[in-house]
Amino acid sequence: MSERVNEEKNLPADGTKRAGPQPDGPQPDGTKPDVTSGVTKPGGTSGGAGVKSGSSPVAAAKAEAVLPTLGPMGMLRWAWTQLTSMRTALFLLLMLAVAAVPGSLFPQRPANPSIVTQYIKDNPDYGKILDSLQLYDVYSSAWFSAIYILLFISLIGCVVPRAIAHYKAMRSQPPRTPARLSRLPEYGTLVIPAKAGIPASEAIEDAAALLKKRGYRVDVRDRDGARPSVGAERGFLREVGNLVFHTSLIGVLVSVAIGGLFGYSGQRILVEGDTFVNTLVGYDQFTPGTNFQSSQLQPYSVQLDKFQITFDRESEGKVGQPIDFKADVTTKESPDAPAKKDVLKVNDPLTLGGTSMYLTGNGYAPVVTIRDGAGNVAMQGPVVAKLQGDNYYSSAVIKVPDAKPEQLAFAGFFLPTAFVTDEGVSFSGDPELFNPQLTLNSYYGDLGLDDGAPQNVFELDVKKLTPLNARNLDAGGITLAPGASYTLPDGKGSISFDGVKRYVGVDIHHNPGQLYALIFALLAVAGLVTSLYVNRRRVWVRTGTHDDGRTMVEYGLLARGEDHRLAGEAAAIRRLLAGAWDLEDQGSQSAPSGSADNDRADTSNPGTGTGADTEQDSADHPAADFIQSTAGSSESKKDQ
Amino acid sequence: MLPINETMGQYSELFMLLAAGTYTVAFIAFAWDLAKSSKTLRAVDLKAAELSGADAARVPVAAGVGESSGAVNRADGDVAGPVGRAERPTSSVAGAAAGNAAGVGQTADGTMRYSAERRAPARVAVALTVLGAAIHAAGVITRAIGSGRVPWGNMYEFLTTGAFVAVAVFLLVLVRRDLRFLGTFVVGLAIIMLVAASVAYWTPVGHLVPALQSYWLIIHVSIAVLSSALFTLTFAMSALQLVQSHRQKTIAAGGADKLGFMRLVPSALSLENLSYRINAIAFVGWTFTLMFGAIWAEKAWGRFWGWDTKEVWTFVIWVVYAGYLHARATRGWTGTRAAWLSIVGYLCVVFNFTIVNQFFNGLHSYSGL
Ligand code: HEM
């Protein structure tokens, strides 16, 4: 299977298949375990048996074309050969590419479930239909999974037999010397003058040693015969690389699956001063993998000491864009481990207790103190304001369930640098705290928190509440600068804006498959490069003694697979051989002209003219080709 | 973080414009070369046809003489390379002879090596391209100095730097191979990219957003740009391959050769082989792009793969080119079909760069717009 179909084109036209070396793979013709070998043959024999001898060839062909009847096992085998064929692999690959596309066209649930819900709402006519086709969950959809699972089954079905075949090939001897080397894509001759005193047997030993040094595995045949030869082969790593590449892809897939099974991830917002402890309650949001156990969590802790942002003050058009985020943290590996200072930045996660912590968001948290109608402090602390617009224009929601006698709530906006337009619209002019302002409406009533039903902390449902402050009420809205306080109407209490802190959002991930995925990916690349750049080649050299005492040498090269440097290799070997025997070889120019590499294009049509005479006059004694009949001809003279 | 240097930024823009101007002249020279060579070739052709016509005319007269040895066979390529090569003692399978037999109506050498023939306009064009590339390089470098970082952080920079890499890779390949027939395409593309950058995506020198501040930006994006430049070459070659193979078929079937300038282009098979080799390199590069992107995503966002739109398209491209490599080893899929896969792959690259960067929202949305 490793044998390329292309190789056929590489070979000299007809006849080579018979005369040339037989590839030692399981499929001599360079393709998959073909259906033809499994199916047509039995059919051919049974059908052919019925055909009277002497009937017309057309009838025979027709009889052969009749589809054989296959038993259930035969069907299974047929299906398996189909599935593991190169054509199917190609088809599945292209399907995979096409199937991946919709995931970029439609919003995806795993990435953002709320956008999907909104999308379905916005497109009532087809939103639901798309959902039933799993187009919002493309990468876990039945059809996408089917494609890649089939692809990987095909991959396994492809790799295993190939690995076995290659293992055998690596242990066998280089293939026997072809009768006619001149038919190989690269062929050349050398002549050692009689006075050099190098007999054929010695010359073949020299050639073998030389090839061995060049990394070939060699096998000398018929050393003391009239025409000793050496078969040599190298580049087994090519197929090994290919196998490693494909196997590693399976490894990557398995590693990803392991990550999904045993991993987990979660989010947490930390205001300056807050500490995160890695336990289930420490997370604001937690997504366990299928096989997650809470005992997996190591109770390390991370305290956010300070968070700094640098804003761009110099680039044109981008003033105010953040160019650096830096969180100073104090970490503890376990509750009683010593504290350590560390820094968390974008692109630079913290690793602790088998997890990694990433800086994914940030914002301002105005610190407020709220007193209730009784004058007691009902709430004090930072309020995480959610980013809404440019320059940290953020929304703030404050729920005060502890306020008595009535529960209180506030909703409004926080602006780090407040500006108000002529129309009275306020906006933030800068991300930094040049003119911080908190504008709020206030409400009282039952917040509905007492029954324990979970609520979104960033949203306030005002339906059951009574407004106290709002722009359209007599009391107006509340506008506070740091340090200022405001007393609510009707003696409901007061609010003071004490200052501003920053907060960060962090993602915490644990993915046990990730390291393996990386290792397999690296292996895959190594395999890929090896298989693309190692060339598998075969070389044969044959020697013989001419009547006049000269030692005649001929050699031929054959590549398995794409090999544009075969001509270069032929030239190099020629040079080495000539050097070993001290031949004055102007032949280096008789090697394909100056081309260190040639393409299939060039080799696609060899034999035109080359050695035409040898083929004619020595059809019966192919081995005698050069050594016998053409030695001393104009050809070999040119070659000396 | 190095400070911004606006003056350098302005120099850079000036260099970019100058480069675009130089490329435009180079483009004209390349086009001239195509036109002129195709004219010369047609003249040779016509002469040959005349000869054979004369022969043909003589045949009936000298009835019986028949196969006059001097008959010029058009299909065999009278303007072919040295016939003598076929006589070489060592298997002379390399060289133009084979390419000629394979590609009817071919002039260009199948090995895409430089021939002895002088093509003055082509030389001028290459010289101008080198000059343009030098100015362009100055533009890229001053941009880097001006912004104090690698010059690939937004669409403007992807385009200007990408165009430079495409031209540089082309020139590098030119050292070893005569791909001057691709000149109009590559230089034309560079001009389009430079113009688009200046008109539609102009962005002043500036700092990077924190998400991009990573050495992975240097590694991941540079490899992506390099691979894309290689894919650009193979795209052009595959497109030409389709045209050429159609033309070869037409000629072989005795049809008229309407695309004379395609004589300058090597045979479909040679094109296929060279583009396969370049695609193989680019595929390895793209594999690295994908992998390093995943590593970076893990560092920046906490997961190495999340099917973000950009990730999806990078994956699609990878799979399409994997399909291409498979096609080359699958019976019935070499040649034209493989060329189509190479073209589809490149269209995906372009789509990923233009449409996805601008119109698809994802974590990668920092095209600088
Ligand atoms: C997960 C899907 C697959 C991917 C991404 C993939 C990718 C590749 C790539 C990039 C190559 C070229 C590099 C090399 O030779 O190592 C290649 C070669 C090859 N693949 Fe696959 N492959 C996949 C599945 C398969 C399957 C299912 C088969 C078996 C039917 C297969 C059989 C082969 C063979 C025989 C070659 C060698 C072709 C040659 O000699 O150039 N591959 N594959």
How confident is the model over B69-84, as pLDDT tens digits?
A: 333 332 332 222 222 2
A376 strand-pairing partners: none
pLDDT at A166: 93
- The answer, yes or no, to whether any atom of ligand 1 lies below 6 A from the CB of B329, is yes
Name the residue with higher pLDDT: B28 or A607.
B28
Mean pLDDT for the stretch of residues A312-316: 75
User: What's B3's DSSP letter?
Assistant: P
Which residues of chain B have a CB within 8 Å of the CB of A6?
A: 328-329, 334
Quick one: closest CA in A to B97, which residue? Answer: A602
Between CA B172 and CA B70 the distance in angstroms is 42
Task: Kindly state the helix (H) or strand (E) to which residue A603 belongs, with its residue range.
Answer: helix A600-603
Across A432-436, A604-608, B257-261, the highest mean pLDDT is recorded for A432-436
**Residue A504 binned pLDDT confidence (cut-offs 50, 70, 90):** very high
Backbone angles phi, psi at B326, to 5 degrees: -65, -45
A100/B93 CB distance under 8 A? no
How many angstroms separate the Cα of A489 from the Cα of each of A318, A467, A493, A497? 44, 11, 8, 17
Instruction: Render pLDDT for B92-106 as a digit per residue (tens, 0 to 9).
Output: 233 333 333 333 455
Atom in ligand 1 nearest the alpha carbon of residue A84: 30
Is the predicted pLDDT of residue B2 greater than 90, yes or no?
no
pLDDT at A55: 44
B165 burial type by CB count under 10 A (0-12 exposed, 13-18 middle, 19+ buried): buried
Mean pLDDT for the stretch of residues B27-46: 80
Please give, rounded to a whole number of angstroms, the shortest distance from the CA of A315 to a CA of chain B: 5
Across A133-147, A290-304, A551-565, B51-65, the highest mean pLDDT is recorded for A133-147
pLDDT at A317: 67
- Total CB pairs under 8 A between chain A and B: 245
Q: What percent of chain A has pLDDT over 70?
A: 80
Q: Are B180 and B46 in contact (CB under 8 A)?
A: no
pLDDT at B178: 86
Name the residue with higher pLDDT: B89 or A126.
A126
Please give, rounded to a whole number of angstroms, the shortest distance from the CA of B172 to a CA of chain A: 17
Across A404-413, A568-577, B211-220, the highest mean pLDDT is recorded for A568-577
Range of lowest pLDDT (A10-24, A430-444, A470-484):
A10-24
Between CA B150 and CA B263 the distance in angstroms is 42
pLDDT at B148: 87
Mean pLDDT for the stretch of residues A524-545: 93
Between CA A636 and CA A188 the distance in angstroms is 10
pLDDT at B210: 81
Instruction: Render pLDDT for A367-402 as a digit per residue (tens, 0 to 9).
Output: 999 998 888 899 999 999 998 888 889 999 999 988
Is the predicted pLDDT of residue A495 greater than 70, yes or no?
yes
Name the residue with higher pLDDT: A323 or A330.
A330
Q: What percent of chain B has pLDDT over 90?
A: 43
How many angstroms separate the Cα of A468 from the Cα of each of A476, A485, B119? 9, 16, 87
Question: CB-hemisphere CA count at 13 Å for A244?
Answer: 20
Between CA B320 and CA B343 the distance in angstroms is 10
**Residue A242 binned pLDDT confidence (cut-offs 50, 70, 90):** very high
pLDDT at A627: 55
For chain A, positions 604-623, list CB contacts with chain B under 8 A. 604-611
Please give, rounded to a whole number of angstroms, the shortest distance from the CA of A196 to a CA of chain B: 23
Which residues of chain A have a CB within 8 Å of the CB of B208?
A: 323
Which residues of chain A have a CB within 8 Å of the CB of B333?
A: 87, 90
Which residue is it, tokens 């370049």?
A: B278
A104/B309 CB distance under 8 A? yes
Please give, rounded to a whole number of angstroms, the shortest distance from the CA of B24 to a CA of chain A: 30
Which residues of chain B have a CB within 8 Å of the CB of A507?
A: 301-302
Of A138, A587, A599, nearest to B274 by CB-CB distance is A599
Q: Are A324 and B207 in contact (CB under 8 A)?
A: no
Between CA A346 and CA A332 the distance in angstroms is 21
pLDDT at A83: 82
pLDDT at A598: 39
C-alpha of residue A275 to centroid of ligand 1, in Å = 50
Instruction: Render pLDDT for A71-103 as a digit per residue (tens, 0 to 9).
Output: 888 888 888 888 888 889 999 999 999 999 999
Mean pLDDT for the stretch of residues A321-341: 90
pLDDT at B170: 95
CA A630 to chain centre: 55
Pocket test for ligand 1, best of A88, A245, A246 (most atoms within 8 A of CB): A246
- The answer, yes or no, to whether any atom of ligand 1 lies below 6 A from the CB of A242, is yes
Residue B288's nearest CA partner among B321, B326, B329, B328 is B321
Across A80-84, A353-357, A447-451, the highest mean pLDDT is recorded for A353-357
For A289-292, which contacts have Cβ atoms below 8 Å and span 24 or more sequence positions? A289/A259, A289/A260, A289/A261, A289/A262, A289/A263, A289/A264, A290/A260, A290/A261, A291/A261, A291/A262, A292/A262, A292/A263, A292/A264
Residue A510, both tokens: 């644990």
For chain A, positions 214-273, list CB contacts with chain B under 8 A. 256, 265
Mean pLDDT for the stretch of residues B192-196: 94
Backbone angles phi, psi at A395, to 5 degrees: -100, 145
Mean pLDDT for the stretch of residues A274-288: 90
B93/A605 CB distance under 8 A? yes
B59 burial type by CB count under 10 A (0-12 exposed, 13-18 middle, 19+ buried): middle
Is the predicted pLDDT of residue A67 greater than 70, yes or no?
no
Name the residue with higher pLDDT: A560 or B291.
B291
Q: What percent of chain B has pLDDT over 70?
A: 78
**Residue A593 binned pLDDT confidence (cut-offs 50, 70, 90):** very low
- The answer, yes or no, to whether any atom of ligand 1 lies below 6 A from the CB of A154, is yes
Mean pLDDT for the stretch of residues A195-216: 91
Range of lowest pLDDT (A65-74, A107-116, A243-252, A282-291):
A65-74
Considering chain B, what is the average pLDDT of its residues? 79
Atom in ligand 1 nearest the alpha carbon of residue A85: 30
Is the predicted pLDDT of residue A31 greater than 50, yes or no?
no
User: Amino acid identity, residue B126?
Assistant: V
Atom in ligand 1 nearest the alpha carbon of residue A162: 35
Quick one: closest CA in A to B304, which residue? Answer: A514
B302/A605 CB distance under 8 A? no
Instruction: Render pLDDT for B285-341 as a digit per residue (tens, 0 to 9).
Output: 999 999 999 999 888 888 888 888 889 999 999 999 999 999 988 888 888 999 999
How many angstroms separate the Cα of B314 from the Cα of each of A79, A485, A516, B293? 32, 55, 21, 9
Which residues of chain B have a CB within 8 Å of the CB of A510?
A: none
Residue A369's nearest CA partner among A535, A498, A195 is A498
pLDDT at B136: 96
- The answer, yes or no, to whether any atom of ligand 1 lies below 6 A from the CB of A84, is yes
Is the predicted pLDDT of residue A44 greater than 70, yes or no?
no
- The answer, yes or no, to whether any atom of ligand 1 lies below 6 A from the CB of A368, is no
Name the residue with higher pLDDT: A314 or A420.
A420
Residue A38, Ramachandran bin (φ over 0: left; ψ between -120 and 50: alpha; else beta):
alpha
Is the predicted pLDDT of residue A639 greater than 50, yes or no?
no
Q: Are A523 and A515 in contact (CB under 8 A)?
A: no
- Could you check whether the bond before residue A405 is cis, i.e. omega within 30 degrees of 0? yes
Instruction: Render pLDDT for A147-198 as a digit per residue (tens, 0 to 9).
Output: 999 999 999 999 999 999 999 988 988 888 998 898 998 999 999 998 888 8
Q: Are B245 and B271 in contact (CB under 8 A)?
A: no
Please give, rounded to a whole number of angstroms, the shortest distance from the CA of A152 to a CA of chain B: 14
Which residues of chain B have a CB within 8 Å of the CB of A348?
A: 299
Instruction: Render pLDDT for B58-69 as a digit per residue (tens, 0 to 9).
Output: 433 333 333 333
For chain A, positions 65-104, list CB contacts with chain B under 8 A. 86-87, 89-90, 93-94, 96-97, 100-101, 103-104
Residue B305, both tokens: 């793969």
A537 strand-pairing partners: A234, A559
The ipTM of this complex is: 0.82
Q: Which residues have C-beta within 8 Å of that of residue A458, sequence separation ≥ 6?
A: A384, A386, A395, A397
Instruction: Render pLDDT for B200-228 as a digit per residue (tens, 0 to 9).
Output: 888 888 888 887 888 888 999 999 999 99
Q: Are strands A275-277 and A264-271 parallel, antiparallel or unpaired?
A: unpaired
How many angstroms separate the Cα of A232 from the Cα of each of A139, A558, A638? 49, 10, 27
Mean pLDDT for the stretch of residues A539-565: 89
Name the residue with higher pLDDT: B339 or A2.
B339
